[in-house]
Structure 1
Amino acid sequence: MKFRIISLPEFFRRIIRRKPLRSATTLKTPLNRCLSLAHLTAFCVSSIIGIGLYDLAGQLVRKYTGPSTVFNYLIVSITVVSTSLCLAELTTLMPRAGSLYIYTYVTFGECAAFCTGWIMVSVMIINTSATAKAFSDAVNRLTNGTIRHWSNANLPSLGNSEIVDSTPDLLAMVFLILLALATLSGAYISMTASLVFSGLTVIILIALSVSCFVLGDVNNFHGEDSFLPYGFKGLLEGSLLSIFTVSGFEYVANASEEAKDPRRDIPIALVLSVLTCTMANLLISFGIAYVLPHWKIIDREQKNESWVSTQLRLKEAFALQFRLNAIICKTSITVHATEFLLKGSTRVFDLILKFTCGFSEFFNTNSKAPIPRWNQVNLSYTVLNVVSVLTDLFGEFWMTLYMKNHYQASTFSHFYCLRTILGGTN
């Protein structure tokens, strides 16, 4: 690669130059177009359903909507489906990996695209690491903390700090290595695995919801100001909060360059996944209100335990099975959520190196699995370094943003707008 000195006017001309629309709308790509409608739908479900479902559902019923959570999700579904259709229009016009990076490059120029792309990559790396830590937490719950206790006893301590963990999280690191290898195998294999985990997640969520309706009582909807306990103000505030539970669908645009027919499949996948995830969240929230009166739900701040054991006072015979299903579902969510974050960040990283930095050699693909392998390895190494010392700092930030009373509904709406513009995750 040759470098040369350019003049200052040429420099400013280059940082505001825009990518030609014609090159962004073509369907020709070095990547393998192998993803079907089912793969794209599963990918979108992976990006929408998150760990916050378990914590947010109980808080939504307890503090904002009560049993009227049905109307809450009706409002949210109309808003989010409309937004997803707007995204579908952009994606079908420019079916390229990179989503917001490409859209910004075409409309605002190279400098804005460069900043947007690196923000997307940074947020994805942080969220991938945090999700891997969530997986480690889920497995430790299943083993009663055996792995964590062994790490604390046998691995060197890094000291007590709010920035780094006391010991490296080996389980999260192994989890990321396995997912990186799965992603290196190619889009079809990794997305098929994501399809399986997405199906497992939806099935378990339906099973949990059915359990709530079997064990609950319709009389729990009565009392404490009845069906709409917090009025229309609480309903609207809950709707703004619920947007977080069905956001993240914009990342399906990263898979458009590997879709068989992106202009037909992506709009369908967006609508199907948004409706599926909205229905799953609705059933979980409505099930909580059905099985336990909303004024008796225990706040997370009062008792830091999973809602499946504290908020749903099930019969003893069902308690262990219910908790186990919830943990398996949480583990399933972390698996395919981490996979889609790792894949999405790699695609954006590829485009930044190719178009903005000029390192097109890193975009070279392999004939057996046409993906940029070097970028996948480099990004996976970066994520491993982050997760090896990451604490619950990022998780606590998100949960604080969700749960604390002094954050008003306007904060959530403003943060969501900012998150959508900059390409954050849920």
Structure 2
Amino acid sequence: MAEKQSRGCLPEESFQSMGNYWRALRQTGFRLVDRITARSLVADEIREVLARSGQEMKKTLSWWDLMWFGIGGVIGAGIFVLSGQEAKESSGPAVVLSYGISGISAMLSVFCYTEFAVEIPVAGGSFAYLRVELGDFVAFVAGGNIILEYIMGCAAVARSWTSYLATLINHKPDDLRINVSSLPRDYSQLDPLAVVLCVAICSATVLSTKAASHFNSVTTIVHIFILLFIIVTGLLYADSSNMKPFAPFGASGIFSSAAVLFFSYVGFDAVSTMAEETKNPPRDIPLGLVGAMSITTVAYCLLALTLCLMVPYSRIDPDAPFSVAFETVGLGWAKYIVSFGALKGELKA
């Protein structure tokens, strides 16, 4: 009896004896091949996800809700982190075209996500779709890439948040960072405020998902009004001569910039994970995702055009492009509105 009880405490039958262990070890190759080539069935995937959830989620979301979730999840980092950097370093005023190319690529991805989300309306997102279509191994690799993607996105947004906060209080971004000369040049500026921001937002989300959702809705509305302010006010100070030369780095600069700017559209995939909570997935998911991506692409292109019309691309500040652009055209007061909007938008993002 004691022997049976001790064996029952072991995690796997393979480790209950040396004989079992060696037999299991000889099967490693076959198990690995099976793991790489195994695919999940749609019905099994739906049952597994529902079993992990414990109970079925309430279907309360419409296409209108999904569209605003998508807009709120995407708009943010692409405007306040990458637009100035890519315009100055890779594409010049042609950054408008780069945003358009990235938007088309993102829309094609949206069509794929839409098809999968309608076919498999579960909360597993792309991981669940890949398990069914390509197998466990590809899903595992893609899941790791998605986690890395969001880690890099959060880090970039949090670091940019420090830059806009510095602009808001009339300081340079480096004033709020710690320079460690013993570290390599590209890694020597530590950003403690960015770390505090990430920890605070993570803690708030864990403590109350509902409160985080309300906060996201409010900040999205405020964010959109500030974006409209940037476009309307910025175009009043537009100078068409700033668009020349249009593509100083050539076609290669446009496409290399488009590859980086695709990062701006990260977040739309989160909408597909809400399929389980959607009232009518075949109708609401396509409308919500395509609507969100269309509005986001137009907004990005208009904002990039506004920035490049306000100041020459060579004078764009890569840390806080819009705040410094308004200051350059003599609207010093406007930079505070823009910086506040950037802080809000990046907290949401």
- TM-score under structure 1 normalisation? 0.61
Show the counterpart of 1:15.
Answer: 35
1:100 is aligned, of 121, 126, 130, to: 126
Counterpart in the other structure of 2:233:
211
Whether contact under 8 Å (2:103, 2:297) holds in the other structure is: yes
User: C-alpha separation between the residues in 2 aligned to 1:307 and 1:199?
Assistant: 22
Superposed displacement of residue 311, structure 1: 4.1
Q: CA deviation at 1:209?
A: 1.4
Structure 1 residues 160 and 97: alpha-carbon distance in aligned structure 2, compared to 1, 3 A threshold: farther
What is the rounded CA distance, in whole Å, between the counterparts of 1:263 and 1:172 in structure 2? 35
Q: Name the residue aligned to 1:297.
A: 315
Structure 1 residue 286: Cα displacement = 0.8
Describe the superposition over 1:34-84 as per-residue Cα deviations: whole angstroms up to 9, x where unpaired.
333233222222332243423432344345544445444444433332231
Cα distance change on mapping 1:126 and 1:81 into 2, 3 Å? closer
Determine the C-alpha separation between the residues in 2 that align with 1:103 and 1:132.
30
> Where in structure 2 are there 5+ consecutive unaligned residues?
1-7, 15-22
Deviation string 1:101-123 (CA, Å, 9 cap, x unpaired) is 11222234334434543553455
> 1:288–1:265: structure 2 CA closer, same or farther, 3 Å change rule?
same
Opposite residue 214 of structure 1, the aligned amino acid is L
Which letter maps to 1:22? Answer: A
Residue 238 of structure 1: how far off its partner (Å): 3.8
Cα displacement string for residues 306-338 of structure 1 (whole angstroms, at most 9, x for unaligned residues): 22344455444x2222x222222222222222x
- Matched residue, 2:224: 202
Q: Give the equivalent residue in structure 2 for 1:88.
A: 114
In structure 1, distance between residues paired with 2:125 and 2:289: 14
Other-structure match for 2:13: 5
1:26-425, aligned counterparts within 5 Å? 30-121=56-147, 123-124=149-150, 127-128=153-154, 131-132=157-158, 134-135=160-161, 138-139=164-165, 142=168, 170=196, 172-183=198-209, 185=210, 190-221=212-243, 224-225=244-245, 227-294=246-313, 296-298=314-316, 300=318, 305-316=319-330, 318-321=331-334, 323-337=335-349
Instruction: Name the CA distance, whole Å, in 2 between partners of 1:233 and 1:198.
Output: 34
Question: Distance in 1 between the 2:198 and 2:90 partners?
Answer: 35
Distance 1:220 1:298, change over 3 A: closer
Q: Distance in 1 between matches of 2:181 and 2:84?
A: 35
Distance in 2 (alpha carbons) for counterparts of 1:131 and 1:106: 33
Distance 1:286 1:58 in 2: 11
Structure 1 Cα separation of the partners of residues 333 and 45 of structure 2 = 52
Amino acid at match of 1:53: I
Provide the alpha-carbon RMSD of the alignment. 3.9
Q: What are structure 1's unaligned runs of at least 5 residues?
A: 153-157, 338-426
Deviations 1:198-240, CA, capped at 9 Å, x for gaps: 232222122111111112233434xx54x45555444444433
Q: Work out the CA distance in 1 between the residues paired with 2:270 and 2:72.
A: 10
CA contact (8 A) 2:166 2:175 kept: no
C-alpha separation between the residues in 1 aligned to 2:120 and 2:217? 25
Q: Secondary structure of the equivalent of 2:124?
A: coil
| In 2, Cα distance between equivalents of 1:277 and 1:231 | 26
- Cα 1:220–1:199, aligned 2, differ >3 Å: closer, same or farther? same
Contact 2:70/2:292 (<8 A) preserved: yes
SS in 2 for 1:319: coil
| Paired residue type of 1:262 | P
User: Taking every aligned residue pair, what percent have the same amino acid on both sides?
Assistant: 22
8 Å contact kept, 1:25–1:93? no
> C-alpha separation between the residues in 1 aligned to 2:83 and 2:236?
19
- C-alpha distance in 1, partners of 2:241/2:175? 44
Other-structure match for 2:18? none
